[in-house]
Amino acid sequence: MQWLTERTDAIWQEATASLASTEFYVQIGIVAGALILAWALSALLISRVRIFREEPKPGALFDLRLSCTARMNCCCRSLPPSCSESRHRSAPT
């Protein structure tokens, strides 16, 4: 039991030392900046590329375009509402 309390105390001391260091906050800032940049680039890509905005129309290679664009659209959006709908629509019934 004493080993557990010593280990817990050591972990607590390590955590409080990390929270007091500037490197910790720099790392959090870098991660947050990368997430915001990825979200912004994804929104820009979806707004600029017509394939990601529109549903594919029937014609040549319709099934291929439907499945590929649905997969890419799911990758480009952070929380896509149409992701599950696209998978159900492209599945054979």
pLDDT one-digit tens code per residue, 62-75: 676 666 656 665 65
Distance from C-alpha of 70 to C-alpha of 20, rounded to nearest angstrom: 45
pLDDT at 56: 65
Helix and strand element counts for the chain (H, E): 5, 0
Domain chopping of the chain, boundaries: 2-90
pLDDT one-digit tens code per residue, 2-36: 889 999 999 999 888 888 889 989 999 999 999 99
78: nearest Cα among 46, 54, 50, 51: 46
pLDDT one-digit tens code per residue, 40-58: 998 898 888 877 677 767 7
Query: Does pLDDT of 1 surpass 70?
Result: yes
pLDDT at 27: 93
Dihedral of alpha carbons 52, 58, 63, 64, sign: negative
